[in-house]
Amino acid sequence: MEKPQGNRESFATKFGVIAATAGSAVGLGNIWRFPYLTGEYGGAAFLVVYLVFVVAIGIPVMLSEFVIGRSAQLNPYGAFKKLAPRKPWYLVGLMGVAAAFMILAFYTTVAGWTLEYIYQAVIGGFPGKDGVQLGEMFSHFRDHSWRPLLWFFLFMGMTAGIIVFGVKKGIEKSTVIMMPLLFLILVVLCIRSLTLPGSLEGIRFLFQPDFSKIDSSAILAALGQVFFSMSIGMGTLITYASYFPKSDNLLGTSFSVAFTDTLVAILAGVAIFPAVFSFHIEPGYGPGLVFVTLPGIFQQMPGGSFFAVLFFLLLALAALTSTISVLEVIVAFFSEELKMTRKAATWTAAGTVSILGLMSTLAWNPMMKGVTLFGKNVFEVLDFTSANILLPMGGFFIVLFVAWFFGRQKAASELSNEGTLKTGYIPFYMFLIRYIAPVALAIIFLNGIGLLRF
């Protein structure tokens, strides 16, 4: 396969393209947020709404990022500068790089927690503790120990260690191993969960359709989940698409990524909620579900320590496939705009993010507890700013750029691989990114900053 530009690398195989890009989308949110939202908002009814938004919003925005990335074959900042010279569109690319800094700092904090819980599962740290004690265990670990820093730096080192080897030998080689392993672990956990007594209650919670629960909040939750789950607006899809070979079918890749991302989220629900209901525990999502509820369940089931190790390994893999994609955004920017070698760019990026990450990881520690902004600690500020401001704005301007500046002709040329692929969907795609996607992204943004409430 051809190299994109000069000595710039590209992915070597079709499977590598899908594994890397899907790995960027699949993350911790698939495992602890999507399944709970599905059960809370009407099961299969929510899933139908979610899938409609995937097709109508998620895939068109993803395609727009693919078009920009592969057309320019540069990092997000460089891509906008090349495609729109002497125009301020490059600021959208800078937003993506800034978002990558923030996301990597707080996301790697949580990713480090998964390593702590792998360690605890291996040494038998869960048995004998009730729900209150497990909650205290998590709080003490996060708030009053230095181990979060150890795991943060270890996870950042693992991420940088993959990135430094490049696109083919680092990103592609690692994700084509990690993604199948992730699926294998998920399937094993699903089988174990489904064999527990009373597991059918969990399946009903997830999949029994209840359209009476589809209200404005459910629709907004589905829309937000599509946007955040598919890694839209942060520059990772532009960056990865810049490594796509010109022969790649962008529409086919976008559907493969969306399907994989959704399948992982559904399988995660099948792995988690039958077990939750089997032990008559109230379902919830977020750190409470993963780091308090599930360890309590694992210690009650036969072979629980083994399945606990598998589950937290699953979380670590999902986090790692995401962190390498986010770090690559910064590394591509440093190497192409600041003319650094990949090695220098990788360790410079990892080092600068780690300064911010150190403050994020210690956000609950007494040393940093007083450092707040608008009542939020450092971790929460980074999370809120990236998720509610930078990403929706990035996605909004990306679709506007392709729809109204880059234009239909150039987009059609890229999507059809210079006329070699059939692209009868182009009119529908252009309608979606001109009118529907910008409105949806504006709603997400306004809701995120509190100016719009249903």
Quick: pLDDT tens for 280-314: 887 776 677 888 888 989 988 888 899 999 999 99
Q: Which amino acid is at 164?
A: V
Q: What are phi and psi of 376, to 5 degrees?
A: -110, 140
Model confidence pLDDT, tens digit, residues 112-134: 999 999 999 999 999 888 888 99
- Angle between helix 173-194 and 199-207 (nearest 10): 120
pLDDT in the model for residue 4: 42
Domain-embedded: residue 341? yes
Domain-embedded: residue 191? yes
- Name the pLDDT band for 454 (thresholds 50, 70, 90): low
Helix (H, G, I), strand (E, B) or coil at 173: helix
* Contacts by 93-96, CB closer than 8 A, 24 or more apart: 93/235, 93/238, 95/390, 95/393, 95/394, 95/397, 96/233, 96/234, 96/235, 96/238, 96/329, 96/390, 96/394
Q: How many residues are given for the chain?
A: 454
Model confidence pLDDT, tens digit, residues 349-382: 999 999 999 999 999 999 887 888 888 999 999 9
CB 128 within 8 A of CB 286: no
pLDDT in the model for residue 2: 40
CB 101 within 8 A of CB 156: no
- Name the pLDDT band for 215 (thresholds 50, 70, 90): very high
- Name the pLDDT band for 1 (thresholds 50, 70, 90): very low
Give yes or no for residue 453 having a pLDDT over 80.
no
What is the rounded distance in angstroms from the CA atom of residue 122 to the CA atom of residue 141?
Answer: 16
pLDDT in the model for residue 118: 97
Q: What are 303's two structure tokens?
A: 């072979």
Q: What is the dihedral of CA 331, 336, 337, 341, to 10 degrees?
A: 70
Q: What are 97's two structure tokens?
A: 């790089």
Percentage of residues of the chain with pLDDT beyond 70: 98
Provide mean pLDDT across the span 174-192: 96
Domain-embedded: residue 39? yes
| Concatenated DSSP letters of 38-78 | HHHTTTHHHHHHHHHHIIIIIHHHHHHHHHHHHHHTS-HHH
Domain-embedded: residue 6? no
What is the rounded distance in angstroms from the CA atom of residue 106 to the CA atom of residue 123?
Answer: 27
Q: Classify 153 in phi/psi space as left (phi over 0), alpha (psi -120 to 50) or beta.
A: alpha
Q: What are 289's two structure tokens?
A: 């579900």
Among 154-163, 254-263, 273-282, 303-312, the range scoring the smallest mean pLDDT is: 273-282
Domain that holds residue 55: 14-448
Domain-embedded: residue 409? yes
Provide mean pLDDT across the span 43-62: 94
Helices and strands in the chain, H and E counts: 24, 2
pLDDT in the model for residue 8: 76
pLDDT in the model for residue 409: 95
Q: How many CB atoms lie within 10 A of CB 303?
A: 10
Chain Cα centroid distance, residue 194: 27
pLDDT in the model for residue 7: 60
Non-local CB neighbours of 312 within 8 Å, separated by 6+ positions = 114, 117, 118, 121
Task: Identify which has the larger pLDDT, 175 or 282.
Answer: 175
Model confidence pLDDT, tens digit, residues 74-125: 999 999 999 999 999 999 999 999 999 999 999 999 999 999 999 999 999 9
CATH code (residue 175)? 1.10.4160
- In three-state form (DSSP H/G/I as H, E/B as E, the rest C), the secondary structure along 348-360 is HHHHHHHHHHHHH
Give yes or no for residue 3 having a pLDDT over 70.
no
Helix (H, G, I), strand (E, B) or coil at 373: strand
Q: What is the dihedral of CA 40, 112, 320, 183, to 10 degrees?
A: -50
- Name the pLDDT band for 231 (thresholds 50, 70, 90): confident
Domain-embedded: residue 271? yes
* Consecutive H or E run containing 376: strand 376-377
pLDDT in the model for residue 62: 96
Cα torsion angle, 17, 114, 385, 213, sign: positive
Domain-embedded: residue 399? yes
Number of domains making up the chain: 1
Provide mean pLDDT across the span 252-257: 96
Domain-embedded: residue 2? no
What is the rounded distance in angstroms from the CA atom of residue 112 to the CA atom of residue 360?
Answer: 12
Kindly report the average pLDDT of the chain as a whole number: 92
What is the rounded distance in angstroms from the CA atom of residue 427 to the CA atom of residue 408?
Answer: 9
Q: What is the dihedral of CA 442, 444, 449, 454, to 10 degrees?
A: 100
Task: Identify which has the larger pLDDT, 2 or 74.
Answer: 74
Provide mean pLDDT across the span 240-252: 96
What is the rounded distance in angstroms from the CA atom of residue 402 to the CA atom of residue 418?
Answer: 17
Give yes or no for residue 388 having a pLDDT over 70.
yes
Longest Cα separation, the chain: 65
Q: What are 182's two structure tokens?
A: 């992730």
Per the listing, tokens 């980074």 go with 382
Non-local CB neighbours of 440 within 8 Å, separated by 6+ positions = 53, 57, 223
Q: Which amino acid is at 213?
A: K
Which pTM was predicted? 0.94
